[in-house]
A and B are shown apart, each in its own frame.
Chain A
């Protein structure tokens, strides 16, 4: 199974809501990533987990809170978001952290903050 799944596909939330994005892979990968992508822009790295430990946080605001409960799951908890946080949120995984490995991407969650 070479698939990364993400749920939900679409999410609309108000600025006072709390919601979570979920990502799952069963390839035995030990690195997982969250990216944010605005329309017609490249993906921007948010977080990297390596062996379930947070290894990179790209100075992301605290209203985004990542969690890696086990080696197959990655969550992104959202709280008090702003309209400018509306974007496509992409999860990815790779066998190990490091740029000599290809990354496998999920289809993304399209988030709209109202």
Chain B
């Protein structure tokens, strides 16, 4: 299956520090998306990066994509307590159904004061 593996599974940092989480996937993709989920709630879309893009920024978020290594990273700079959440990458699969996103295993981020 295409499910991405995220690393680390859990990350605990102090407010103001940067947080980096990584996503690896198995097959070629068209698009990769990152989502945030606060505990037991719905997901919120963060960034979409296409396979021909290498880097995207949105506010304090920076996403990179390396299609040769089949991996992506999400960097959150100057973290805040409100960033505490689970973060998921989601990928499609050019060899499969183009309309379907498969979510990775997720990274649980804890930001402490």
Q: Do A and B come from one complex?
A: yes
A residues touching B (Cβ–Cβ < 8 Å)? 4, 31, 41-45, 48, 50, 55-56, 88, 90, 92, 97-100, 102-108, 110
Q: Is B40 within 8 A of A48, CB to CB? A: no
Q: Is A105 within 8 A of B43, CB to CB? A: yes
Q: Is B99 within 8 A of A105, CB to CB? A: no
Q: Is A48 within 8 A of B42, CB to CB? A: no
Q: Is B30 within 8 A of A42, CB to CB? A: no
A99-B30, A102-B48 are contacts. A108–B42 as well, Cβ < 8 Å? Answer: yes
Q: Is A56 within 8 A of B3, CB to CB? A: no
Q: Is B43 within 8 A of A90, CB to CB? A: yes
Docked complex Cα distance between A100 and B48 (Å): 8
Q: Is B100 within 8 A of A48, CB to CB? A: yes
- Interface: B88 (CB within 8 A): yes
Partner of A98, one of B41, B99, B104: B99
28 contacts between A and B (CB under 8 A): A4-B42, A31-B99, A42-B3, A42-B103, A42-B106, A43-B43, A43-B88, A44-B103, A45-B101, A48-B100, A50-B99, A56-B97, A56-B99, A56-B100, A90-B43, A92-B43, A97-B99, A98-B99, A99-B98, A102-B33, A102-B45, A103-B43, A103-B101, A105-B35, A105-B42, A105-B44, A106-B42, A107-B41
Chain A residues lying within 8 Å of B44, measured Cβ to Cβ, are 105
